[in-house]
Amino acid sequence: MAFDINKILLMIAQFIAGLFDKKYSSWPSLLFRIMIWYKRLKRNVTVKYIEQDGYKFCYFSRGEPGSRPSVLMLHGFSFNKDMWLNAIKLFPRDVHLVCLDMPGHGKTTRLLAENYTAVDQAKKIHQFVEWTNLNKKPFHLVGMSMGGMIAGVYAALYPSDVCALSLLCPPGLQHTVESEFIRQLKDLRKSTNSHNNPLILMTVQQGEDLLKLGLYQPKTINMQLLKGYLEDRRPHKSFFLKCFLDMTSMESRYSLHDNMSKIKAPTQIIWGKDDKVLDPSGADILANAVVNSQVHMLEKCGHFIVLDRPRKSAKLLLQFYHSVCGNVDSKIWT
């Protein structure tokens, strides 16, 4: 009798996750890690590391490089590669996907002595691309929020690497309309008090507040998973403050705006109409500067696009990939 090892592992993972959710809710960090492990297993992704000169990148991938372009996905501030798990569930299994832990995030090397401006991070990601030979041929670069800002800068600095660019609600633009959130951030540039920073989460209440701000309709929040998320990140608050201050410094805060006219790749701009973090007018700012661009404004969608609208955003990304990168089976996996 043949056994499917993946199905067996999934059954074990479901049992363990359910057990901890019901009986061991006082261990939120462990529960959080089990749930992420289970979701990675379902998505059939492989976690990998690559290290040179004492610096280590962590990423996960699915599929293998082939005749069609690979897809490199960059997450938002204080998140990690697992941010993409809901969206990549819907991608065809034969598209080569690479989801990277950004510099200092997740399991990628975290150094307080490094600079984390948008340009510095783009250069660091270029090291990863070269180490993994991902730019053997041009790839589709996707970034959301901070990852979108850095993806845009990357495409401007290394145009020959990128055959298609997807930017989801990126910061780094000179908006004419400011949200209350942006005004708060301007005040925070004058302070090093991380306890007041809505992006550097220390408490469950701060986490709930950010989800309510970033999502169009916040789902029922699983308190144990939120606590686990915070427990995993709380020890690294000094790094997140450093990264935030570097990204919002005078040198870096408008890096995407400064470089957007240099973007040559066909560009897709996706923004939630109900984004309370970054004003949706940013989509027009980008579209007016990037010659070969298209804009998609999503109804009932906040800032965390791949959490609010995972299926819709995945469909848009795949359609764009298909139109720019060649013939791709656009079947959505369920």
Q: Could you list the active site residues?
A: 145, 275, 303
Which residues, 6 or more positions from 311, have their beta carbon under 8 angstroms from its beta carbon? 90, 332
Query: Closest Cα to residue 249, out of 81, 68, 118, 55?
Result: 118
User: How many C-beta atoms surround the C-beta of residue 312 within 10 A?
Assistant: 19
Which alpha helices (DSSP H) does the chain contain, by range? 5-23, 28-43, 85-88, 118-131, 146-157, 180-188, 204-214, 223-233, 237-247, 255-259, 282-289, 305-308, 310-325
CB 289 within 8 A of CB 296: no
Phi, then psi, of 73 in degrees rounded to 5: -120, 130
- Read off the tokens for 313: 């955003």
CA distances from 321 to 165, 288, 328 (A): 9, 22, 8
DSSP state of 297: E
Instruction: Count CB neighbours of 46 within 10 A.
Output: 10
Q: Are 324 and 140 in contact (CB under 8 A)?
A: yes
Asked whether the beta carbons of 28 and 224 are under 8 A apart, the reply is yes
